[in-house]
């Protein structure tokens, strides 16, 4: 009897030790995952701080915005000039491509014309159709019920 009790106690201690070891492993794994999640969160916060710092440095006053718009306007003019130059050069390149009568220059010309057509054509925005709404007539009001006093008096 003593031997069975000591065996049970030994098995209980081994089981308890195994359970404590498993809990230790789970705790270490959870700690590692938590540190990893916190590190990722800190990284995102630092990215946000950098973006906010960059935005804070920029001049958002009316003169600053005017300066920025003038810069964009100059860029647009430069792009327009480049596009006009390319379009003006297009007939010469078309004639040379057709004169050479080889397939590759003609295909390149067709691709360039398609690309320019996409840039020049305005983007058409198709407005979404308004949702269909069924109009349902309001229910007719029910006549008021007669109270008990009105029934008795009648």
Mind listing the pLDDT tens digit for each residue in 1-22? 556 777 777 777 788 888 889 9
For residue 106, count CB atoms less than 10 angstroms from its CB and return exposed for 0-12, middle for 13-18, buried for 19 or more.
middle
In this prediction, residue 72 carries a pLDDT of: 92
Mean pLDDT of 89-94: 73
Do the Cβ atoms of 109 and 94 come closer than 8 Å?
Answer: yes
Q: Residues of the chain with pLDDT > 70: what percent?
A: 72
For residue 4, count CB atoms less than 10 angstroms from its CB and return exposed for 0-12, middle for 13-18, buried for 19 or more.
exposed
pTM of the model: 0.33
In this prediction, residue 79 carries a pLDDT of: 87
Mean pLDDT of 123-132: 63
pLDDT band at 130 (very low <50, low <70, confident <90, very high): low
């Amino acid at each position: 009897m003593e031997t069975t009790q000591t065996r049970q106690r030994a098995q209980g201690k081994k089981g308890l030790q195994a359970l404590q070891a498993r809990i230790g492993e789970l705790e270490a794994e959870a700690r590692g995952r938590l540190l990893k999640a916190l590190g990722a969160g800190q990284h995102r916060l630092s990215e946000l701080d950098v973006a906010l710092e960059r935005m804070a440095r920029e001049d958002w006053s009316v003169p600053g915005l005017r300066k920025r718009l003038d810069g964009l306007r100059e860029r647009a003019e430069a792009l327009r000039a480049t596009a006009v130059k390319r379009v003006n050069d297009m007939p010469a390149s078309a004639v040379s491509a057709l004169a050479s009568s080889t397939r590759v220059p003609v295909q390149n010309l067709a691709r360039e014309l398609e690309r320019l057509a996409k840039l020049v054509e305005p983007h058409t925005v198709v407005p979404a159709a308004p949702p269909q709404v069924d109009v349902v007539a309001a229910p007719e009001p029910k006549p008021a019920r007669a109270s008990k006093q009105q029934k008795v008096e009648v």
